[in-house]
Amino acid sequence: MKVLDADCTKGFMQLSEDGWQHNYHERNGGNLSYRMKPEEVEAVREEFTYTREWKEIGASVPTLAGEHFMVTGSGKFFQNVTRHPEDSFCITEIDETGTKYRIVWGLVNGGRPTSEFPSHLMNHAVKKRVTDGRFRVIYHAHPVNVIALSFILPNDGIVWTRELWESMTECPIIFSEGVGVLPWMVPGGADIAVRTSELMETYNVAIWAHHGMFCAGDTFDNTFGLFHTVEKAAEILLKVLSVTKEKRQTITPENFRQLQTDPTFSSQFPVTLDEKFLYEKK
Ligand code: 13P
Ligand code: ZN
């Protein structure tokens, strides 16, 4: 089978196009990676070539040895993922030590995987372990409202989680574990990769102040849906804060607890919310 005919490739391209249409990607902003299933690799292996050299990842991910990742190219524009797929992304193979990769398909005009490849792979390593291999997608982009909020809210995941949950009733259902936040850091390196992967032990969302957001998920739809939900909640909060510093009313800690105890609701949407997010506000 051709790589471009595979369902996983179609999902990868659809998410990229959706991200572009939602204004999450200016120029080359953002990156996407997908840990391919063994059967997906076998189905398209006929198109692989093994002539390109092994390169250093810049991180050590031994639990990903031998895995194949579909990943966007550094400097490539998201709107071109669907228009010029072979030029915009690639499939990479990880070596048996988990320190090197080689490109086996794509990036036909040269290039390398995203500069955030260390962060992506370290996040994948954490998510593969904590979800027993279920999570396969890592998505990073530059959404306007999340970035804007990072100039207003403290760099504190507990505060961010509570404020985002209050912004839209579905939020505590979609990201009940909360969100993690990092202060501004130099992008593209090992330091930010380590710090982000630490957050991914607990959360599926990591916010990089003044830069953007990382989301992890099992499918392309769920990962994009999570990203979209957080960004929409950020937009609502920003609109409220643009009008008033004092909310007249909001979703209260007691309301959040009702989500967990209401028999009809909780039988359909069972959710456990950590009390640390339900603190009393001064
Ligand atoms: P790349 O073009 O290397 O993927 O970088 C874009 C980006 O968003 C860096 O954080
Ligand atoms: Zn970025």
User: What fold characterizes domain 1-141?
Assistant: L-fuculose-1-phosphate Aldolase (3.40.225)
**CATH topology of 1-141 equal to that of 143-277?**
yes
Sheet holding 205-208, edge to edge: 55-56, 100-106, 89-94, 68-72, 31-35, 137-141, 212-217, 205-208, 180-182
In this prediction, residue 207 carries a pLDDT of 98
Both tokens assigned to 258 = 């009702």
pLDDT tens over the chain, length 282 residues = 999 999 999 999 999 999 999 999 999 999 999 999 999 999 999 999 999 999 999 999 999 999 999 999 999 999 999 999 999 999 999 999 999 999 999 999 999 999 999 999 999 999 999 999 999 999 999 999 999 999 999 999 999 999 999 999 999 999 999 999 999 999 999 999 999 999 999 999 999 999 999 999 999 999 999 999 999 999 999 999 999 999 999 999 999 999 999 999 999 999 999 999 999 998
Does residue 231 have an active-site annotation?
A: no
Query: Which among 93, 54, 39, 40 has a CA at the least distance from the CA of 71?
Result: 93
Q: How far is CA 55 from CA 49, 67, 114, in A?
A: 15, 15, 13
What's the burial of 175, exposed, middle or buried (CB within 10 Å: 0-12/13-18/19+)? buried
- Ligand 1 touching residue 115 (CB < 6 A): yes
How far is ligand 2, taken at its centre, from the CA of residue 252, in Å?
34
End-to-end CA distance of the chain: 60
Position 264 scores a pLDDT of 96
Distance 202 CA to ligand 1 centre (A): 24
What tokens were used for 229?
């939900």
From 81, 112, 116, 117, give the residue whose CB has the most ligand 1 atoms within 8 Å, as the site to mutate: 116
Assess whether the C-beta atom of 16 lies below 6 angstroms from ligand 1.
Answer: no
pTM for the model stands at 0.98
Domain boundaries, the chain: 1-141, 143-277
Q: What is the pLDDT of residue 282?
A: 83
Ligand 1 and 116: CB distance under 6 A:
yes
Q: How far is the CA of 187 from the centre of ligand 1 (A)?
A: 8
> Residue with the nearest Cα to atom 1 of ligand 1?
74
The verdict on the CB of residue 28 being under 6 Å from ligand 1 is yes
Which alpha helices (DSSP H) does 68-202 contain, by range? 80-83, 85-88, 117-130, 144-149, 157-167, 171-174, 190-200
* Mutate which of 20, 28, 69, 107 for ligand 1 pocket (most atoms within 8 A of beta carbon): 28
Q: What is the CA radius of gyration of the chain?
A: 19
Identify the pLDDT of residue 242: 97
How confident is the model at residue 6, as a pLDDT? 98
What distance in angstroms lies between residue 42's CA and the mean position of ligand 1's atoms? Answer: 29
Which ligand is nearest to the Cα of residue 74, counting in written order? 1
CATH of 143-277, one of 3.40.50.620, 3.40.225.10, 3.40.50.360, 2.70.98.20: 3.40.225.10
**Which among 40, 93, 116, 235 is annotated as catalytic?**
116
Q: Which residues pair with 132 in a beta bridge?
A: none
